Amino acid sequence: MIKLTTEQQRQINEQGWPPRVMNMDTGEEFVLLHAAMFERVRHILEIEDEIEGVEQMYPLLTEVLDRDESTSRESA
């Protein structure tokens, strides 16, 4: 488990909900969810037998979003 520093906790509190964090090495962005919220979402996906599809689609979705983001930057 990753433990947040006091400074990271302060920044997350200032940012609002849901907090977003970035992996500085890869540029990947993540949304932090409370464990209880994650379990509720996970449970819904598992009930609908969708979690496997989401996991399989993640690399494709990331590719599309990255492409859209770079296109947005170029047009700005």
Q: Is 59 inside any structural domain?
A: yes
pLDDT attached to residue 75: 59
**pLDDT for 24-75, tens place per residue?**
999 999 888 888 888 888 777 776 666 666 666 667 666 766 766 666 556 5
- What is the distance between the alpha carbons of residues 54 and 71, in angstroms, rounded to a whole number? 24
pLDDT attached to residue 27: 92
pLDDT attached to residue 1: 83
Q: Is 3 inside any structural domain?
A: no
Number of domains in the chain: 1
**Can you give the residue range of the structural domain that contains 47?**
20-75
pLDDT attached to residue 25: 92
What is the phi/psi pair of residue 31, to 5°?
A: -110, 125
Q: Is 4 inside any structural domain?
A: no
Q: Is 44 inside any structural domain?
A: yes
- What is the distance between the alpha carbons of residues 16 and 51, in angstroms, rounded to a whole number? 27
Whole-model pTM above 0.85? no
CA torsion 46→47→49→51, rounded to 10°? -20
Q: Is 5 inside any structural domain?
A: no
